[in-house]
Amino acid sequence: MRSRFLPLLGCLLVWTSLARAEWTPPKDNVFTEKQLTAFMDTYRENIQLLMAAQKAAAGGSGAGAIAVLANVDATMKANMAKHGLTEAEYQWLNQKAAETYGALIVQDMVDKSKADLDASLKKNQADLKDKQQSLAQYEKAAKDGRRVMSKEDRESAIKSAKDDQQSAVDEAKQHADEAKAAKEEADKADAEAKQNDTLAKNPPGDVSADDRPGYIEDKKNAAESARTAAKEARDKQAEALKAEKESRTKADGYATRIKDPEIPLTDDEKAQAKQQNQDMIKQLKDDIETTQQAIKLTQDSQQSGLKPLESEVAKAPPANLALMKKHRTEWEAAMGGKK
């Protein structure tokens, strides 16, 4: 029972004493800095007094609690008088200080919300600009039949093209060497065929008449074999020259890629670049629309979404808000009964 009785009686004492006051509040509801600091000092002392009274009355009888509270009431009045406040003035300051502090809390919310909305708006506006630039880049690339590459992808493509170019150059040299060897082989075989044809037509004098037909036949066969070998060597030479040309064409293509990696070379690369451009254009258009909606929502919120909170802040006189802001730390300490 005492735990319920003490707070109720304390409130009763405060409100009863306040009701007896004769002080009249200002019509503009503005308090002075002197009034605010005096109230805070008084309020802090009264909070400390009530905390002490609760400890003093704990475990005592009902009569003892009443005696403690009677003493508290007298001391609270003395605290008000000490700081130059009437009971009615104290009541009014209590109400106005609480209202002003509440308005200050709401103002904090408004200020933070404005800062957050402004940061969000700037971020989305920057994002929109980037996406619009990217869209223009992809649309131009699609029109020109090119690829869009990041700096990193471009550098990687150039390095890869240089490696491939060197491989193609090495292949071309190898095929050139093969073609040279095949030509030498063919030339040698042609020379052998020519020599054997000559011997078949004009056998040496030391070949007897009996051996002459066989000798001529052997030389004809040898000439034919040499011509077959020459033809095979010429075919190898032609294949090697063709392969060398293909390798040099690849090397030239890689040179083009090194100079401008955004240009697709093969049919597969062209088809891939076309599809990539189309996909990115669609995605960027969707992203731009979403970002534009986000920007509009943010702007609408900036213009009207915070008005109810701002209206609450506007109820407090600006002069009161300025003073409460100046003495905010002291007020928050006073509410806890601390200096």
Say what the pLDDT of residue 104 is: 94
**DSSP string spanning 147-208?**
----HHHHHHHHHHHHHHHHHHHHHHHHHHHHHHHHHHHHHHHHHHHHHHHHHHHS--TTS-
Say what the pLDDT of residue 197 is: 92
Domain-located, residue 292: no
Cα–Cα distance for residue pair 182/233, rounded to 1 Å = 5
Lowest-pLDDT range of 150-159, 226-235, 330-339: 330-339
Q: How many domains does the chain have?
A: 2
**Domain end residue (candidates: 261, 293, 320):** 261
Confidence of residue 180 (pLDDT cuts 50, 70, 90): very high
Whether the pLDDT of residue 254 is over 90: the answer is no
> For 299-325, what is the mean pLDDT?
90
pLDDT in tens, 182-235: 999 999 999 999 999 999 999 998 988 889 999 999 999 999 999 999 999 999
Whether the pLDDT of residue 324 is over 60: the answer is yes
Cα–Cα distance for residue pair 295/121, rounded to 1 Å = 6
> Could you tell me if 63 and 163 lie in one domain?
no
> Could you tell me if 325 and 241 lie in one domain?
no
Range of the structural domain that residue 215 is part of: 154-261
Confidence of residue 1 (pLDDT cuts 50, 70, 90): very low
Domain-located, residue 197: yes
**Domain end residue (candidates: 198, 232, 261):** 261
Confidence of residue 51 (pLDDT cuts 50, 70, 90): confident
Domain-located, residue 319: yes
Say what the pLDDT of residue 207 is: 86
Say what the pLDDT of residue 27 is: 93
Whether the pLDDT of residue 259 is over 80: the answer is yes
Cα–Cα distance for residue pair 273/179, rounded to 1 Å = 38
Domain-located, residue 92: yes
Q: Is pLDDT larger for residue 127 or for residue 5?
A: 127
Say what the pLDDT of residue 5 is: 35
Q: Tokens 């005096």 belong to which residue? A: 38
Q: Give the phi and the psi of residue 303 in degrees, each rounded to 5.
A: -80, -40
Confidence of residue 73 (pLDDT cuts 50, 70, 90): confident
> Could you tell me if 102 and 203 lie in one domain?
no
Domain-located, residue 171: yes
Domain-located, residue 53: yes
